[in-house]
Amino acid sequence: MITEWARQRARDFLNGVAVFFNRLGLTPNILTVIGFGLVCVIAVVIALGYEALGAVLLIFGAGFDATDGALARLTNRVTKFGGFFDSTLDRYADGVLMLALAYRGIALANQWIILLAVAALIGSFLVSYTRARAEGIGLQLKEGWFTRLERMILLILGLFATLFIGQTALLIMLALLAILANVTAVQRILIVKQKLDHADA
């Protein structure tokens, strides 16, 4: 999992951006809403067939998405609701992006793109749900091979690759997303079982 490595590398940059947004008077929750709105715009771009442009915009959008947490820490506005709100809109964002790709499958008359987009969405939701459910029973669960950052990187690479191999890139990218996200969900189920068995021992 490269999430923690990326967070450490990007921390100084995100803090600098957070200072800028703080000077503009923006709050973490407002940034969360703006970030989700940006993802919705990107989803429309992808749905209309401009996948490579969508990839470029997602690079910017992913950085923007991480700034709300940095701003919350910078301004001492870290709240339970803020974390809940951010996670909820992240799930909506995942859904909107997969919906855009499913729409591309319809436009291209390719049923495999549609099916794989749905399978990838199920896996993405289950990766998040297993963590949320584990925390609901008092367990920390940050482990996992293919968390949201990894999924976003693969999505961006796949969208870029459409410049060279067209819809084949979407099929490969969505197949990998579907497989790796669902494998990670199963991995987290096994980790939770292991932790519970160890606690009961």
C-alpha 112/C-alpha 77 separation (Å) is 44
Domain positions in the chain are: 3-200
Q: For residue 7, name the pLDDT band (cuts at 50, 70, 90).
A: low
DSSP 49: T
Share above pLDDT 70 across residues of the chain, in percent, rounded to a whole number: 95
Looking at domain 3-200, its CATH superfamily turns out to be: CDP-alcohol phosphotransferase transmembrane (TM) domain (1.20.120.1760)
Q: Which of 68, 86, 90, 94 is catalytic?
A: 90
90 is catalytic: yes
**Taking the model in full, what pTM does it have?**
0.92
In whole angstroms, what is the distance from residue 67 CA to residue 140 CA?
23
Query: Stretch 16-29: mean pLDDT, rounded?
Result: 84
